[in-house]
Chain A
Amino acid sequence: MMIRRVWVQLLAVATATALGGAAQAGSTLDKVKQAGQISCGVPTGIAGFAAPDSQGHWAGFDVDVCRALSAAIFGAADKVKYVPLTAQQRFTALQSGEVDVLSNNTTDTLQRDTELGLNFAPVVFYDGQGFMVAKKLGIKTAKELNGATICVAPGTTTELNLADYFRANKMDFKPVVIEKVDELYAAFFSGRCDVITGDASGLAAQRLGRASNPDDYIVLSERISKEPLAPVVRHGDDQWDDIVRWVVYALIEAEEKGITTKNVDEKLKSDDPGIKRMLGVTPGMGKALGLDEKWAYNEIKLVGNYGEIFDRTLGKETELKFERGLNDLWTHGGLMYAMPIR
């Protein structure tokens, strides 16, 4: 029962904040090592980002970020407990310590960073909010949406951007707000709403994943917001924050340096001092993070570099066929730029 889950979640936070003693004073890394696994908050089901495959294993872009973390910490990619969380549940789950990290298509905003007591790792996916409509309505641009009924998930930046956009353009809309992704898209595809709004990547994924005939729907070309999606950790544990940050940078850096799952063993013999430092041939980086010196090597060996993950889950090797666009390396005109690992 959904309502029960909402209540349990909310009450869990309340009780956790009320009763939780100084147990969390220990570092998240110690807790994770003790538990033998990372508790990773992922979306409840977006094709390409996080969804269980036919064998019931979680797979997707968000999932691979969790696996990279696991590889860096444990030297094995499967030490992850996946906790599917709706947009409304995710922050409370992180704050209360139910999960150690969110890899949940979460937009980095000032308010979340400050008032919610969160810290954002580097952006792993640059997205923008879009609108999806049925083709038969004959709508070409978002400016024609005055008076539309719009399906939207609560507790997201999407919900706020939507209201902002319509206010800015002096248009009216009627929101239908449903928390569960399944119910939300069922409502849209059955015609309860004229429009559904969300991160454009998510809309494209859901169109392929859920519509009975994907060609009946289009995602309008306008992007009404910036949605930099990033992993999230609790504020106040700098070591854990650092680990997540550099695990993400290492994925990007590996692509830039041309290190892949296939050639990472050869690269161990490379003369490039940068690669030697990163892969732990020259020790120091792992120790600085409080991890094994092989942390980056394991990530790339077991999960792959950023480009490999992207192609495998969202890009050219998938039905989604997303362009790299903003998510290409800075050297190719994108925004992916890792800080130096030294």
Chain B
Amino acid sequence: MATDSATAAPQAPRPPPWHDARIRSIAYQVLFVAVVAAFVAFLVHNTLVNLHRQNIASGFGFLDREAAFGIGESLIAYSPADTYARAFLVGLLNTLYVSALGIALTTVLGTVMGIARLSSNWLIRKLAQVYVETFRNIPLLLQLFFWWAMFRVSAPAPRQAWELLPGVLVSNRGFVYPVPIADPVHHWMLLAFALGIIGAIGVSRWSKRRQALTGAQFPTGWVGAALILGLPLLVFLAAGMPLELDWPELKGFNFGGGGAVSPEFAALLIGLTVYTGSFVAEIVRAGILAVSWGQSEAASALGLKPGQRMRLIVLPQALRVIVPPMTSEYLNLTKNSSLAVAIGYPDLVSIAGTTINQTGQAVEGIAMIMAVYLTISLLISLFMNLYNRAVALVER
């Protein structure tokens, strides 16, 4: 006991709670949260009262009712007899579809253009610069109208469609192309494709380990590609090449059969990709420039070829600078896809807008739109942060 009291530091007398910095800061925070909560409660209450006063029904019950309006393009089966909830889902999927494709294409285009801006070839460098400076300085909406009008005005009517390749036609109704008719062999090809990917990953791991142990290199890229593409091809050949195409053909007003891409979707995808790609190009360029020149020189001194230098030394280091701003561009692209409303692509905002108008449920509709975009954005952000952690510099 005696030792205890001897080792205990002499305690300063506790100040009264209202002078205690820690307690005070907690109190302020509690107060702040309470004020925010009260404000939100006021808003919700007031909204309900006002809606009631204006005799507008509220609640999400309308989602179960029949939508009764048509939607031009949909990834899932939809007819006007379906519910508002399903129409909403159609819009959501359309938004996700164009965003996902846009993000993939933007990444490719932006990376190529970003590297091209640093090319030692004058023409390539200048062309990339013109691309970036043109497209990032024109408002996206104008670009969308431009691409859309290109289709509408320049392309011919379906009956005079341009045939780019046999079966691939362009008209003012968009692209149409032949698609293979489903065959059981195709499932086996898909399986072979999956096996090819697994095999390629295995080869890559094995070759890395071998190189670390012996220094001997192995053409991983070629072998991997051969596995991924070759296996399905082999299955295809072995099964006697069962390929029947569903050709598009003129039926009444328009093309029937085959696959089709509408002008609205094409204009939106091109517009989003080209616009966002110009920003991504600058991010990639900045990322590459952020890697000190000494790294490249050292790589050259070790005897790496320019391609290897970029792939093995510069890009991995550039990625940690590139990824965070890239996340913002992905988010921008996804949110900008709501401009689809202007050119008639049935995205989430377009369909929710129609729903709001037909049902009068503005507050619920907007809440749903906001919740969806927030969720999509947070998910993209989450995945990009995970990826960022993976490529971040590991400090030893």
Contacts and interface: CB of A to CB of B under 8 A. Distances in A.
What's the interface size class on A, roughly?
35 or more
B357 A3 contact: no
What's the interface size class on B, roughly?
35 or more
B254 A192 contact: no
Interface stretch (A8-16, A73-81, A247-255): A8-16
Interface in A60-105: 87-88, 91-92, 95
Given A14-B363, A187-B152, A162 B70 contact: yes
A150 B167 CA distance: 25
A154 B354 contact: yes
Contact of B349 (A6, A155, A159): A6
B139 interface: yes
Contact of B253 (A87, A148, A160, A234): A148
B359 interface: yes
Contacts of A115: 56-57, 359-360
B72 A175 contact: yes
Contact of A91 (B68, B139, B264, B357): B357
B336 to A, nearest CB: 9
Contacts of B57: 115
Interface string B180-198: 0000000000000000000
Given A88-B353, A176-B344, A183-B342, A190 B172 contact: yes
Interface string B94-137: 00000000000000000000000000000000000000000000
A3 B341 contact: yes
B72 A18 contact: no
A163 B252 CA distance: 19
A136 to B, nearest CB: 10
A3 B344 CA distance: 12
A1 B145 CA distance: 12
Interface centre among A111, A159, A162, A173 (most CB of B within 10 A): A159
Interface in A151-192: 154-155, 159-160, 162-164, 166-167, 173-180, 183, 186-187, 190-192
B237 interface: no
B55 A19 contact: no
B50 interface: yes
A314 to B, nearest CB: 26
A192 B349 CA distance: 22
B306 interface: no
A4 to B, nearest CB: 9
A188 to B, nearest CB: 10
B344 A14 contact: no
A196 to B, nearest CB: 13
Given A6-B341, A88-B353, A149-B254, A17 B51 contact: yes
B63 interface: no
A163 B46 CA distance: 37
Contacts of A20: 46, 50
A192 B69 contact: no
Interface in A303-331: none
B283 to A, nearest CB: 25
Contacts of B339: 3
A180 B55 contact: no
B354 A234 contact: no
Contact of B353 (A1, A111, A154, A160): A154
Contacts of A187: 152, 344
A241 interface: no
B366 A147 contact: no
Contacts of B251: 147
A137 B254 CA distance: 12
A20 B152 CA distance: 44
A195 B236 CA distance: 44
Contacts of B256: 147
Nearest to A235: B55
B172 A192 contact: yes
A47 B36 CA distance: 50
Interface centre among A17, A112, A179, A186 (most CB of B within 10 A): A17
Contacts of B224: none
A284 B148 CA distance: 60
A115 to B, nearest CB: 5
Contact of B68 (A3, A10, A164, A236): A164
B55 A236 contact: yes
A17 B69 contact: no
Interface string A26-55: 000000000000000000000000000000
A263 interface: no
B292 interface: no
A177 B50 contact: no
9 closest residue pairs by CB, A with B = A155-B357, A163-B80, A116-B360, A117-B55, A178-B344, A175-B70, A117-B56, A190-B152, A147-B252
Interface of A: 1-3, 6, 10-11, 13-14, 16-21, 24, 87-88, 91-92, 95, 111-112, 114-117, 137, 146-149, 154-155, 159-160, 162-164, 166-167, 173-180, 183, 186-187, 190-192, 194, 234-236
12 contacts: A2-B342, A10-B365, A19-B43, A92-B356, A155-B357, A160-B358, A163-B68, A166-B70, A167-B81, A174-B70, A192-B152, A192-B263
